[in-house]
Amino acid sequence: MSIAPRVQSIITTVNRWTKPLELLAPLLALLTRIYVSWVFLKSGWLKVSDWETTKYLFHDEYHVPLLPSDVAAVVGAAGELFFPTLLIVGLCGRLSALGLQAVNVLAVVSYAHVLLSDGYEGAIAQHYLWGFMLVMLAVYGPGPWSIDGWLQRTTPRDRIAAS
């Protein structure tokens, strides 16, 4: 007696019982978009609400490569406000996730002298988690409960192919 048919039967049964989990995918995509965006929106809002402190931090604490500190402060705050806003509603979701990923990577690079020090494992782990969430959104898209998803459902396929 071959073991393969028995294994196949077990796998088929497990798949049948776990298939309803697919119904949670739109909600999970939405909650992921909201959670990761909220983290960056709060940071961006903090930057613009106390601009003098933000300028001080970018001049003296953060080590942003290639950009003058004043430009880096504006770009950082803008990225933390613009990309999460788009990501929450799911407009240009993949591009928004990639843009926010760039902000996340730049934050780690600019503050690496602290984040990679002993005692900051939890802080760097948060950036890894946010990065993972953003990669998932970039790869799989913002989900059907998004403007992108709505546009995909309402735009005729022949118009999408022609563009």
Name the token pair of 162: 């022609």
Which pLDDT score, from 0 to 100, does residue 45 have?
98
Number of independent structural domains in the chain: 1
Q: Is residue 111 assigned to a domain?
A: yes
Q: Which domain holds residue 68?
A: 35-162
Which pLDDT score, from 0 to 100, does residue 13 have?
94
Question: What is the tens place of the pLDDT at every residue in 141-152?
Answer: 999 999 999 999
Residue 143 φ then ψ, to 5°? 95, 170
Q: How confident is the model over 99-105, as a mean pLDDT? A: 97
Q: Is residue 59 assigned to a domain?
A: yes
E strand or H helix at 147, and its extent?
A: helix 147-154
Q: Is residue 5 assigned to a domain?
A: no
Q: How confident is the model over 57-81, as a mean pLDDT? A: 95
pLDDT interval class at 156 (50, 70, 90): confident
Q: Is residue 81 assigned to a domain?
A: yes
pTM: 0.86
